[in-house]
């Protein structure tokens, strides 16, 4: 009766996914050019690091698309 139930059962701990920053080409939606920016990659997902500005028009790159991210296989 007082034993562990399914939600409290011992589960193997999953190791945290490494998070790293790398340079990539990001599409600026304002000036429609591809500029270099820093991308934060976590596992299979990659997002533009918040707070960056476009080198051509000084617009925020937060909503930009990642066009090319070079990753080793």
Question: How confident is the model at residue 5, as a pLDDT?
Answer: 62
What pTM was computed for the model? 0.73
Q: Residue 52 — very low, low, confident or very high, per pLDDT cuts 50/70/90?
A: very high
Domain ranges of the chain: 16-68
**8-44 residue pLDDT tens:** 566 778 888 889 999 999 999 999 999 999 999 998 8
pLDDT score of 3 more than 90 = no
Question: How confident is the model at residue 57, as a pLDDT?
Answer: 95
Question: How confident is the model at residue 73, as a pLDDT?
Answer: 67
- Give 60's strand partners: 53
Per-residue three-class SS string for 3-68: CCCHHHCCCCCCCCCCEEEEEEEEECCCCCCEEEEEEEEECCEEEECCCCECCCCCCECCCCEEEE
């Amino acid at each position: 009766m007082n034993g562990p139930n399914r939600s409290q059962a011992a589960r193997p701990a999953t190791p945290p996914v490494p998070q790293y920053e790398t340079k990539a080409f990001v599409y600026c939606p304002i000036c429609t050019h591809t500029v270099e920016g820093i991308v934060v990659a976590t596992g299979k997902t990659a997002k533009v690091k918040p707070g960056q500005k476009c080198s051509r028009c000084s617009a925020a790159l937060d909503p930009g698309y990642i066009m090319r991210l070079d990753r080793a296989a």
